Amino acid sequence: MTTSFDWKLPRGTLIHGKWKQNRYRVERLLGEGANGKVFLVERQRTWYAMKISSDAVDLQSEVNVLQSIAKQRQAGRHEAYLIDVDDFRNSDGVDYPFYVMRYIRGMTLFDYLAKQGMDWFPVVGYSLLVKLAQLHSEQWTFGDLKVENVLVGDYGRAELVDYGGVTGFGKSVRQFTEIYDRGYWNAGSRTADAKYDLFSFAVLCIQIHESRRLAALTASLLPQNRAPEELLKLARVNPVLRTMEDWLSKALRGEFAHTQEAAKSWQQWQHKHSRHAPSAPVPRWMKGLFVASAALLATTIYWLLRAGL
Ligand SMILES: Nc1ncnc2c1ncn2[C@@H]1O[C@H](COP(=O)(O)OP(=O)(O)OP(=O)(O)O)[C@@H](O)[C@H]1O
């Protein structure tokens, strides 16, 4: 991994793709990580997210994974995620590689739950499990599943960002974050499989509810004492996590046969314990549709009466 490069692209900057000649206008910085910066950009009145990196090798491997996923999904009706790949020459005279992806309108998981309330956690969690199940059915492990890599849109719809850690089943996960890593907790290998992500998902649940205690635990445990049981002990002190101890135990010990089973079990927990889970509010488009149909019906009745039918 490289350290994030230290330059800014002011609002309005035009990025001109060197090979494909596409032009993008920078709106603002969306986020940055170890591997690059992600900007909100516009082309032909459509918003996109553009990832620019100083490290062509890192970016290329991410692009390769996204291209393979895109190929697998071509047959289905999935909205394209990877839009463009190119280089551009910055004002410092250096060429930087970039790729353009679908812009995900959403908040980070922490922000979403802080704003909408923790009642949404079961809904978001289920949506995230469905995303993972899809990736797993295509034989990919997300790898670097963590709070920062989950964006949440309307009605608790979860989206994964940062495909830098995505690894084909059976290969070694290269990009991960220690506290979410199965190997770090002596709970299994770093070989990519569905259970690797389910382990990280369980840690993510603990991180959301008990971030301070989790940080204290990781700071105090000797490496040889790190174990799933330590995470479960921590979960038992939290009233919400306690209700999902069985689910967490299975995910941390790799006992779910596949992600669909984990998602089904999550739903059962959700129905049993989250009586306060919000029912999705009626979407605005649906309200609009209702008003439009009512108006159409009224007009039809008016004309039928006028016609004396
Ligand atoms: N498609 C997208 N739509 C909206 N925001 C995005 C998108 N992709 C990335 N972001 C934002 O940019 C941030 C950084 O992106 P990303 O994690 O891919 O960068 P990175 O350099 O690979 O980071 P890391 O060091 O975690 O690997 C994300 O946390 C997210 O907030």
Q: Do 124 and 241 share a domain, yes or no? A: yes
Domain boundary among 102, 124, 144: 102
Residue 111 lies in a domain: yes
d(CA 145, CA 129): 11
Domain boundary among 102, 134, 160: 102
Q: Which atom of ligand 1 is found nearest the CA of 62?
A: 22
Q: What is the CATH number of the domain that holds 43?
A: 3.30.200.20
φ/ψ of 25, rounded to 5, equals -110, 130
d(CA 55, CA 68): 20
Summary mean pLDDT of the chain: 88
pLDDT at 56 over 80: yes
Nearest CA to ligand 1 atom 16: 162
Judge if the beta carbon of residue 103 lies within 6 A of ligand 1: yes
Reported ipTM: 0.93
Judge if the beta carbon of residue 38 lies within 6 A of ligand 1: yes
For residue 35, give its domain range: 14-102
d(CA 233, CA 283): 40
Is there a contact between 132 and 104 (Cβ–Cβ < 8 Å)? no
Q: How many residues does the chain have?
A: 309
Q: How far is the CA of 241 from the centre of ligand 1 (A)?
A: 28
Q: Which atom of ligand 1 is found nearest the CA of 105?
A: 4
Q: Do 275 and 215 share a domain, yes or no? A: yes
Q: How far is the CA of 49 from the centre of ligand 1 (A)?
A: 9
Residue 203 lies in a domain: yes
Q: Which residues pair with 298 in a beta bridge?
A: none
Q: What angle do CA 142, 147, 149 make, to 5 degrees?
A: 50
Q: Which residues pair with 85 in a beta bridge?
A: 99
Q: Which residues of 185-218 are buried (b: 16+ CB within 10 A; e: fewer)?
A: bebbebbbbbbbbbbbbbbbbbbbbbeeebeebe
Assign 81 to helix, strand or coil: coil
Residue 149 lies in a domain: yes
Q: Do 185 and 70 share a domain, yes or no? A: no
pLDDT digits (tens, 9 = 90+) for 155-205: 999 999 999 899 999 999 989 999 999 999 999 999 999 999 999 999 999
Q: Which of 79-88, 150-159, 168-177 has the lowest mean pLDDT?
A: 79-88
Residue 9 lies in a domain: no
Single-letter amino acid code for the residue at 93: G
CA-CA distances (angstroms) from residue 10 to 25, 91, 102?
10, 12, 21
Judge if the beta carbon of residue 160 lies within 6 A of ligand 1: no
Domain boundary among 78, 102, 126: 102
Q: Rounded mean pLDDT of 77-88?
A: 86
Ligand 1 pocket mutation pick from 30, 103, 152 by most atoms within 8 angstroms of CB: 30
pLDDT digits (tens, 9 = 90+) for 209-243: 999 999 999 999 999 999 999 999 999 999 999 99
Residue 6 lies in a domain: no
Residue 2 lies in a domain: no
pLDDT at 276 over 70: no
Q: Rounded mean pLDDT of 95-119?
A: 94
Q: Which atom of ligand 1 is found nearest the CA of 81?
A: 1
d(CA 305, CA 286): 29
Single-letter amino acid code for the residue at 183: G
Could you list the residues known to form a binding site for ATP, using ranges: 51
Q: Which atom of ligand 1 is found nearest the CA of 53?
A: 21
Residue 1 lies in a domain: no
Q: Do 160 and 98 share a domain, yes or no? A: no
Q: 103 Cβ partners below 8 Å, 6+ apart?
A: 40, 47, 48, 49
Q: Do 116 and 253 share a domain, yes or no? A: yes
Reported confidence tier of residue 51, pLDDT bands at 50, 70, 90: very high
The H or E element containing residue 86 is: strand 82-89
- C-alpha closest to that of 266 among 256, 281, 276: 256
Q: Do 133 and 260 share a domain, yes or no? A: yes
Number of folded domains that form the chain: 2
Q: Do 160 and 288 share a domain, yes or no? A: yes
Judge if the beta carbon of residue 197 lies within 6 A of ligand 1: no
Q: Do 177 and 195 share a domain, yes or no? A: yes
pLDDT (0 to 100) of residue 306 = 59
Q: What is the CATH number of the domain that holds 246?
A: 1.10.510.10
d(CA 64, CA 60): 6
Q: How far is the CA of 142 from the centre of ligand 1 (A)?
A: 14
Judge if the beta carbon of residue 228 lies within 6 A of ligand 1: no
The H or E element containing residue 289 is: helix 284-306
CA-CA distances (angstroms) from residue 98 to 151, 166, 267?
21, 18, 39
Q: Is 87 a catalytic residue?
A: no
Residue 80 lies in a domain: yes
Q: Do 59 and 111 share a domain, yes or no? A: no
d(CA 205, CA 132): 15
Catalytic residue among 87, 92, 119, 144: 144
Q: Do 70 and 144 share a domain, yes or no? A: no
Is there a contact between 99 and 50 (Cβ–Cβ < 8 Å)? yes
Which pTM value belongs to this model? 0.85
Q: Do 25 and 112 share a domain, yes or no? A: no
State the pairing for strand pair 37-43/46-52.
Answer: antiparallel
Nearest CA to ligand 1 atom 4: 104
> Who wins on pLDDT, 93 or 11?
11
Judge if the beta carbon of residue 215 lies within 6 A of ligand 1: no
Q: Do 77 and 218 share a domain, yes or no? A: no
